[in-house]
Amino acid sequence: MADKYQYGGQAVIEGVMMRGRHHYAIAVRKGNNQTCVISEKLGSYTRKHPILRLPFIRGIVALGESLVLGLNSLQYSANQVMDTEGEEELTFWEMTLMILFAVGLTIVLFVALPLFLRGLIARVLPGIFWRNIFEGLTRAVILVAYVAIISQLSDIQRVFAYHGAEHKVIHTYEAGDELTIENAKTKTTLHPRCGTSFLLYVVIVSAIIFSFLGEQTLVMRFVSRIVLLPLIAGISYEIIKISGKHQAFILWKILSWPGLMMQRLTTREPDEEQLEVAILALREVLTLEDNNNNVLPINKQEAPV
């Protein structure tokens, strides 16, 4: 039976990153059907500084570390695929520009646009409380609409299929089943600890917190939405962590339901090759952490990285 540690991961370009206690591994299927694997040791700040393990604070640290690891994993997978296609690898500045564009788009869509629409409705909708609630609902609608739109892109659909593969393999491990393609096929693509659920919790928690803020100028509202984000992320992290551990309780099932429904947009049913890549990534992490429970070898081709 799998231990109680909550292994997780992330879909990348043509592959999956899996993360354990002390290690992570990335498996990518290149265009020539060759599988590349890279693994590294993790050095979390929470192990070096006990105060960072306190509730709410640990969520902020975990989010920051996950963002850095996620970006590095995406860059690695993109470079592997581009190398197969004969294209040059992404440079540091190209990656930096992509990150800055993503941050800018996030601020425009989830901060500036909801505040703008809030200003338009302010004269019609009475009371600060209800205006703030409207702003939060607007942010939720934008999130769902954004995900629904990008999910129509063929490249994104492949990433979402690897996302589904990641969830199925994690479910297989947590069920104590052997890590095989056939066992993974029987599992759901939805998982209560998914990052998609985390984003939705961020939107919901932010709507609740902002609803208690008093009258503010436009500048104060804009700044508060950004400054309070770490607190909101910390609260959302605790919610998703608890709900993932206590799915037997009806309350946490109810709280998990919106996020699971959202995952219907961000996951797709994977094929056998995608499941194989996800199994390979998790198997590598388990091997590195000296935890080989119920892991069976799978046929694969590994290229040096």
Beta strand segments in the chain, E? 8-12, 15-19, 23-29, 35-41, 302-303
pLDDT tens figures, 218-234: 898 899 888 898 888 88
Residue from 42, 91, 106 nearest 69 by CA: 42
294 pLDDT tier (thresholds 50, 70, 90): very low
3-class SS of residue 303: strand
Supply the pLDDT for residue 296: 43
pLDDT tens figures, 121-147: 888 887 888 888 889 899 999 999 999
Mean pLDDT of 38-42: 89
Supply the pLDDT for residue 302: 35
Structure token digits, residue 257:
């339901």
Q: Are 219 and 40 in contact (CB under 8 A)?
A: no
Given a cut of 70, is residue 191 above it in pLDDT? yes
Q: Are 21 and 41 in contact (CB under 8 A)?
A: no
Mean pLDDT of 252-275: 89
